[in-house]
Amino acid sequence: MAAVGSAVGLGNIWRFPYEAGQNGGGAFLLIYLLCVLVMGIPTLLAEMTLGRMAKTNSVEAFRRVSKHPVFSRIGYLGVLSCLLILGFYTVVAGWTFQYMWESVSGGIVGGTTEQFAQSFVDFSTSPFQPLFWTLLMLVFTHLIIIGGVQKGIERASKLMMPLLFVLLVVLCVNSLMLDGAREGLLFLFKPDFSAIDSGVVLSAMGQAFFSLSLGAGVMITYASYFEKEVNMPRTATTVALLDTSVALLAGIVIFPAVFTFGIQPTQGPNLVFVTLPNIFAQLPWGSVWSFIFFLLLALASITSLISLHQVVTAYVEEEFRVSNRKAALIVTCAAGVLTVFASLSLGVLNDLRVGGMCLFDLLDFVTAKIMMPVGSLLLCVFMGWRLEKSALLNELTNYGTLRWRWAKVFVVVLKYVVPILVTLIFVNELGVFKF
């Protein structure tokens, strides 16, 4: 559940719907599912395998298994990715606290679509209110991290993940009863192949890696706590399936409402925060439903924030030989600086742009569409080519105590398929070749 919790969060419920909405719905979903199957699960299993072998943080894991310091640079890329993701992810997580407050104060009930959209713009561009919630979310994450793995992370994940699944199913049933259910489902599940281009493919790959927390050392760090009896292939497949299921459930919740209430599916990062209030406004006891949902979304956000924070904290703690509390404090302070500028970049600092993107969008783009895929590519090359095949197979089969018929296929996918596909997608997007 802790591993699932690290993957399931805002990436599924906030990021997946707006990425699907901006990239053609069904076309994006098709490519996304293929990326999860062909690249996501093998990379996830490779990360878990490396983590359990090394029993340490993501930087030291590469160094220890390869016995060569140059490979630790792959781990540094993951640590940096986690820190940068914390910079904008915490901002979105803070928004969930605001919507919990809106649910209690009655702001969710009685508004129109236009009012909900304007309310979000007013809130997210404010210099103080979103910053307050963002820093509060960061403090909560910090407190759980210093509670340790079992008392903090594991205990929180076991409670939050099942509750989130149940509530998403309830909201799905409600969305399927809306007038726009048919149009919403067609948009999500009927692919328009003419909409598929290099941008859609890159976005789908980025979403797959982002959603599964790949290429950032998260699963390396989490798997370092796995016992030797854990069935690695089954665990990786389970995490991937549950993570993808949450994304699909979120899509089923969002898109029928999008077409029912006349919202544009290309709305962008605020899609969830405009669409869901419309759903709750139509429900009996809408404020109660709204509060419960945003509470669980906040909790799911925290599980993902915990995983990101833990990767950097574990590195600082073990690399610089400081206590867990001191390492966590250093990471929280560094992330806090990033979150302040990321939050303000949506409002008063919006004119400060790089490549036409504000800091918030830049952090999202660089981490999800560049750093995480590159980190996954380097991981697969390392595990497929640097690590001895016998050592890899021994770890996958728990030294022969498990039978896994796909072991040799997995090695081929790790060595050839994932690196070639990731490289082709990047080459195509850069315009070197067009396929």
**115-151 pLDDT per residue, tens:** 888 889 999 999 999 999 999 999 989 988 887 655 5
- pLDDT surpassing 70 at residue 272: yes
Those residues whose C-beta lies under 8 Å from the C-beta of residue 16, and which sit 6 or more positions away, are: 32, 207, 211, 247, 250, 251
Length reported for the chain? 435
Domain 2-430 in CATH 1.10.4160.10: yes
Asked whether the beta carbons of 6 and 307 are under 8 A apart, the reply is: yes
Asked whether the beta carbons of 57 and 257 are under 8 A apart, the reply is: no
Q: What is the mean pLDDT of residues 93-97?
A: 93
pLDDT tens sequence across 22-62: 999 999 999 999 999 999 999 999 999 999 999 888 888 89
Q: What is the mean pLDDT of residues 76-100?
A: 94
Burial class (CB in 10 A: 0-12, 13-18, 19+), 269: buried
Nearest to 257 by CA among 207, 195, 163, 188: 188
Q: What is the pLDDT of residue 18?
A: 93
Q: What is the mean pLDDT of residues 199-227?
A: 89
- Give me the DSSP letters along 294-329: HHHHHHHHHHHHHHHHHHHHHHHHHHTT--HHHHHH
To which residue do tokens 């599912």 refer? 33
Token pair belonging to 157: 């994940």
**Burial readout 59-77 (b: 16 or more C-beta within 10 A, e: otherwise):** bbbbbbbbeeeebbebbeb
Reading phi first (left if > 0) and then psi (alpha if -120 to 50, else beta), residue 32 is in alpha
Q: What is the pLDDT of residue 380?
A: 93
Q: What is the mean pLDDT of residues 302-317?
A: 88
Those residues whose C-beta lies under 8 Å from the C-beta of residue 122, and which sit 6 or more positions away, are: none
Q: What is the pLDDT of residue 31?
A: 95
Percentage of the chain beyond pLDDT 70 is 94
Q: What is the mean pLDDT of residues 265-272?
A: 86
Nearest to 221 by CA among 137, 147, 316: 316
Nearest to 292 by CA among 100, 98, 9: 100
Q: What is the pLDDT of residue 97?
A: 92
Q: What is the pLDDT of residue 156?
A: 63
Give the dihedral of Cα atoms 276, 282, 283, 286; nearest 10 deg: 60
pLDDT tens sequence across 330-382: 999 999 999 999 999 999 999 999 989 999 999 999 999 889 999 999 999 99
Burial class (CB in 10 A: 0-12, 13-18, 19+), 174: middle
Q: What is the mean pLDDT of the chain?
A: 88
Nearest to 53 by CA among 302, 395, 373: 395
CA end-to-end span of the chain, whole Å? 40
- Give me the DSSP letters along 237-273: HHHHHHHHHHHHHHHHHHHHHHHHTT--TT--TTHHH
